Amino acid sequence: MLSGTTLSLIIILMQLIKTDIGYIAFHDELLESPSHTWFNVAFWREKQAITGSSQGRYTTWFIQYSNEDWVLRHYYRGGLIEKISHDKYLFCGLQKTRPIAEFQLLNTLYNEGFAVPKPIAANITRSGPFYRGDLIIERIQNAKDLLARLESSPMTAQEWFTLGSCIAQFHKRGVFHADLNAKNILLANDKFYLIDFDRGAIRKANPRWKQANLKRLLRSFNKEKGKSPTLAFTLDNWQQLLQGYQSIKQ
């Protein structure tokens, strides 16, 4: 149960409403307060508001609200525990739920001017000691993930340098990305964005986790290069990225 103090602290960071089945956090610029139906694909399908989808392990939906384009994502488990419960998590307090934590992190970074999607709303559905969760974010227009870009054409040395400096700015702020890979980097209108901050956090400065982040990204490039030898990625490109990274004093 939330104490009054805890609830007040959360409301300072975002708008929060209690529903009959859980909680919804949302950006204070929304034209109306969301309901739990917003997180149901059938609701948007009935309104003929679904504009597309992205297929990964699970489906992410693109929806249109008023004149805005949004992305709707349900939280699913991974690993061995997925065989036991594919989308239920143990509830250990609202701020520790994955949708609320990601919403708060995105909200902080977006308000500070970082290149991340604008968070729209997060949903928590309680079920006894467990919860399920969803997140709606703003869709970045004209964006292509880095893997798709490298499959179609190479990046310039300056673009690799810019990407490295972009990542360094996040690290300088203390932003830990739990799954930094080529698919979670977007390029739109000559600007790089980081997406999917599930399990991300703002940490104290430590070169160990920053280097681990970079190594994870390199493994991602090498893995995709192994799948597709024609992928436009070389070790020279990685050095160009590192030069950009090192141009930002940590």
Per-residue pLDDT tens digits of the chain, which is 250 residues long: 344 444 444 444 578 999 999 999 998 888 889 999 999 999 999 999 999 999 877 899 999 999 999 999 999 987 656 556 789 999 999 999 999 999 999 999 999 999 999 999 999 999 999 999 999 999 999 999 999 999 999 999 999 999 999 999 999 999 999 999 999 999 999 999 999 999 999 999 899 999 999 999 999 999 999 999 999 999 999 999 999 999 999 8
How confident is the model at residue 81, as a pLDDT?
A: 61
Closest among 5, 3, 29, 1 to 15, alpha carbons compared: 29
| Of the candidates 12, 13, 43, 32, the residue with the CA atom closest to the CA atom of residue 134 | 43
Please state, in angstroms and rounded to a whole number, the distance separating the CA atoms of residues 22 and 145. Answer: 33
Which residue reads 């604008």 in tokens?
118
* 64-91: b (≥16 Cβ within 10 Å) or e: bbeeeebbbbbbeeeeeeeeeeebbbeb
Residues classed as catalytic:
179
* Alpha-carbon distance values, 237 to 36, 122, 195, 231, 243 (Å): 45, 37, 22, 12, 10
CA nearest to 205, candidates 248, 158, 250:
250
pTM of structure: 0.91
Q: What is the pLDDT of residue 14?
A: 75
Q: How far apart are CA 25 and CA 122, in angstroms?
A: 5
Residue 80 near residue 90, CB atoms below 8 Å:
no
**In this predicted structure, what is the pLDDT of residue 3?**
42
